[in-house]
Structures are given as C-alpha cells and as structure tokens.
Amino acid sequence: ETIIIAGASAGGHLSALVGVTNGHALLEGDLGEHPDASSDVQAIVSFYGASNLTSILSQSTPHGLSVRIPALQLLLGSQPEDDVSLAELASPVFHVESSDPPLLLIHGDQDPQMPINQSHELVGVYQQAGAVVTMEVIHGAAHGGALFYDGHRLNLVKSFLKKYLIVIP
C-alpha cells in the first residue's frame, strides 16, 4: 500500500519524476496484471538527481557538459532546446503540485557532474506549491561516494520517512 521511491543520479531524476507525476495520464501507462492498483508514490528520496532538463546545460561545468549532452541525447533523442515540450515532460519541476509526496533531496555542493542548482530549483517549486520538501547539502561532496550513505545520511532518510510516512523500528 505504500510506495517509497529513491534513487541516485539518473535514478534520483527518475525518482523525482515518478513521484511528482502521480496520476499523470500520459506517464501512467496501461501495462501489467493489475491496472486498477494505484501506482501513486507516497515519499521520494533523490540523491543528486536532475530536476529541470531545460536549464541543466546552462548550469553545467565543462565536465558536466561532457557527460550531460550525450545523456540527454539518449534520454530525449535530441537536445532539450530541440524539443522543449519533451524536455519539460521529463523534468520534475514542471509537474509539482501541492499534493505531491514529501521529497528529500541530498546533494553535494562540489558536484562537477550534476549542478546543485538542479536540487535548488526543485526545492523552490516545491516550496512555491506548498508541498513538503527537505534538502540536505553535503559540503565538499562531489557526485556520489560514501558521504551520501554514512550513518548521518541514513538516519536522515529514516527520520524523514518516520516523520512523513511510516513507522520504522
């Protein structure tokens, strides 16, 4: 009955996108043996994921561009400026509503691959919508690594889920 979605990097992007598109007819799909079962997400945890594919290139470092441009080509079949409507459809920031599930973002402030402004943008639209959002910035952290999954961060995730969702022993 409860769906919590979490991911890191591309998985963080997809986690946020799935979480903020509960009930979106175009993205819901019609496959599976239980089409009447809800696929609505109740909580999202995103580690250093993208949130706005229309702004990500302008925020990227040279290293970030070297990985981002090919990744966007694979995801969208083109670059965001060539198909803005598809880039917006694939960007969580364009789907946020007040009823969206609680969101926890964890991002390093020295990430050369995924601009931290991607997380700041998602925080901003969540706050503007009046939805529940928490962001943890790891000072000095890059893209991934042990700091994201240390005891402090695992307790943060556990506390977040306890506060907004479920009872965890």
Alpha helices in the chain, H assignment, sequence order: 10-20, 25-28, 56-59, 62-76, 84-89, 116-129, 151-164
Q: Is 88 a residue whose pLDDT tops 80?
A: yes
Which pLDDT score, from 0 to 100, does residue 166 have? 61
Rounded Cα distance between 149 and 120, Å, is 21
pLDDT classification of 27: cutoffs 50, 70, 90 = confident
The sheet that has 43-47: what strands, in order across it? 4-8, 43-47, 103-108, 133-138
Which pLDDT score, from 0 to 100, does residue 150 have? 97
Which pLDDT score, from 0 to 100, does residue 40 have? 92
Mean pLDDT across the chain: 94
Which pLDDT score, from 0 to 100, does residue 82 have? 97
Which pLDDT score, from 0 to 100, does residue 169 have? 53
Contact 161, 168 (CB under 8 A): yes
Rounded Cα distance between 31 and 53, Å, is 27
pLDDT classification of 53: cutoffs 50, 70, 90 = very high
Q: In this predicted model, what pLDDT tens digit does every residue of 113-134 receive, in sequence order?
A: 999 999 999 999 999 999 999 9
Taking residues 42-49, what's their average pLDDT? 98
Backbone torsions φ then ψ of 162, nearest 5 degrees = -60, -45
Single-letter amino acid, residue 152: H
pTM for the whole structure:
0.93
Q: In this predicted model, what pLDDT tens digit does every residue of 91-107 receive, in sequence order?
A: 999 999 999 999 999 99
Percentage above 70 pLDDT, the chain = 98
Which pLDDT score, from 0 to 100, does residue 55 have? 98
Q: Which domains does the chain have, with CATH numbers?
A: 4-28+37-164 (3.40.50.1820)
Count of other CB atoms within 10 angstroms of residue 30? 6
Which pLDDT score, from 0 to 100, does residue 157 have? 97
